[in-house]
């Protein structure tokens, strides 16, 4: 039986993510992993998150999860969601500047709000344009709308790791992929049919970028 670990570091909507994974992969074993040993035993890992990046990185360091997360992201199918995307980059300007895991190059910045024209946080449904093919896009139409809730964004829209972009005042990375890592700024567990399809694709993915 395949095991998927949902990283539990005290932040994030874990229950809805776990329930969505159970729905799309009823034969898989979905576990919450709050320690490095449990995380290491999983066949695939989901890194969800909501809240502040500083608290996230402090929690990973306090619970000795940082090294385990980095190792999982090098070895197994790995899905980052929302803060779980932002934490993969080198740095966020949130909280005066916080170092991320550095698994992806680039920086996370605060939305400007386009001079007050746009509300911050960016909340609600928005389109994702697929700028590069990937197995996790299988069965999901280009420019499908997904559900977002965030004030900070990955300022890496032109990076080779970017596989999806979204416009909100400026263009930002809404999906990134590198090797066995796939990460999204939106919440697939809140994005109805398209979000469930992406999670289903992840549960069937072997971590390779080419289509089978």
Give how many domains the chain has, as a whole number.
1
CATH code of 33's domain: 3.40.50.880
Query: Is 82 a residue of the active site?
Result: yes
Contact between residue 103 and residue 91 where contact means Cβ atoms under 8 Å apart: no
Query: Is 56 a residue of the active site?
Result: no
The label of the residue with tokens 């608290």 reads 55
Helix (H, G, I), strand (E, B) or coil at 93: coil
* Within a domain: 209: no
Marked catalytic residue, from 56, 82, 122, 161: 82
Marked catalytic residue, from 94, 122, 150, 189: 189
Query: Is 122 a residue of the active site?
Result: no
What region, left, alpha or beta, does residue 27 occupy, with left being phi > 0 and alpha being psi -120 to 50 degrees? alpha
* Within a domain: 33: yes
Sign of CA dihedral 49, 107, 111, 146: negative
Domain carrying residue 126: 3-97+107-204
Marked catalytic residue, from 122, 134, 150, 187: 187
* Within a domain: 211: no
Cβ-based neighbour number of residue 51 at 10 Å? 13
* Within a domain: 102: no
Pick out the chain residues at pLDDT < 50. Answer: 211-212
Q: What is the pTM of this model?
A: 0.95
Those residues whose C-beta lies under 8 Å from the C-beta of residue 164, and which sit 6 or more positions away, are 128, 129, 130, 131, 137, 173, 174, 175, 176, 184
* Within a domain: 50: yes
Digit-coded pLDDT (tens) for 62-113? 878 999 999 999 999 999 999 999 999 999 999 999 999 999 999 999 999 9
């Amino acid at each position: 039986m395949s095991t998927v670990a949902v990283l539990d570091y005290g932040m994030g909507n874990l229950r809805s993510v776990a329930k969505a994974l159970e729905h799309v992969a009823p034969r898989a074993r979905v576990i919450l992993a709050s320690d490095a040993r449990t995380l290491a035993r999983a066949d695939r890992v989901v890194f969800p998150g909501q809240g502040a990046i500083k608290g996230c990185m402090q929690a990973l360091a306090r619970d000795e999860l940082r090294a385990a997360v980095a190792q999982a992201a090098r070895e197994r199918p790995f899905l980052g969601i929302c803060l779980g995307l932002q934490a993969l980059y080198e740095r966020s300007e949130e909280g005066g500047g916080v170092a991320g895991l550095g698994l992806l190059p680039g920086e996370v910045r605060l939305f400007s709000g386009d001079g007050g024209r746009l509300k911050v946080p960016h909340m609600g449904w928005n389109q994702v344009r697929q700028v590069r093919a990937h197995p996790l896009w299988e069965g999901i139409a280009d420019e499908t709308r997904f559900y977002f809730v965030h004030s900070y964004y990955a300022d890496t829209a032109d990076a080779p790791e970017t596989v999806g972009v979204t416009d909100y005042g400026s263009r930002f990375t809404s999906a990134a992929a590198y090797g066995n890592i796939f990460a999204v700024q939106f919440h697939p567990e809140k994005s109805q049919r398209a979000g469930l399809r992406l999670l289903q694709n992840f549960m069937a993915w072997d971590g390779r970028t080419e289509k089978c």
